[in-house]
Amino acid sequence: MSKSINVVYIETPRHGYLKVDGDDVRARNISQSFSEYSYYDEENDIFYLEEDCDASMFSKRCELDGVTIVETDEYMDSDEEAENILCHNDALGGDVGYFGELEQNHVGLENFFRDEEDEEDEEE
């Protein structure tokens, strides 16, 4: 029987985020790899993973680990986004980056960690 986790996809006028419980993120062993565009709410142990890269990486890691994501949708207006998500920006006093295991599980996620030089080498 595969494990499933519940997440919320939050759409805002500015961007989209995957709201994920901290334990579920840390269980994937990839939190050290998230960009500065994702946010961590330390008080509630919630990650807001930006939709373009970090949420995709998290989803792929779940798929590779045999974990099913059960997603619900939510909309936040600009004020709610500023109050609930952007307030956790590390530049504004929140924290992101040091949460999770130091040993990261990147097996199967190599394409998320390629740089432009690697892609150019492959094209040749």
58-89 per-position pLDDT tens digit: 999 999 999 999 999 999 888 888 887 777 66
41 membership: H or E segment, kind and range: strand 39-41
pLDDT at residue 92 in the model: 45
Residue 119: what are its φ and ψ, rounded to 5°?
-65, -40
Between these two residues, 31 and 99, which has the higher pLDDT value? 31
pLDDT at residue 121 in the model: 62
Report field, pTM of the whole predicted structure over 0.75: yes
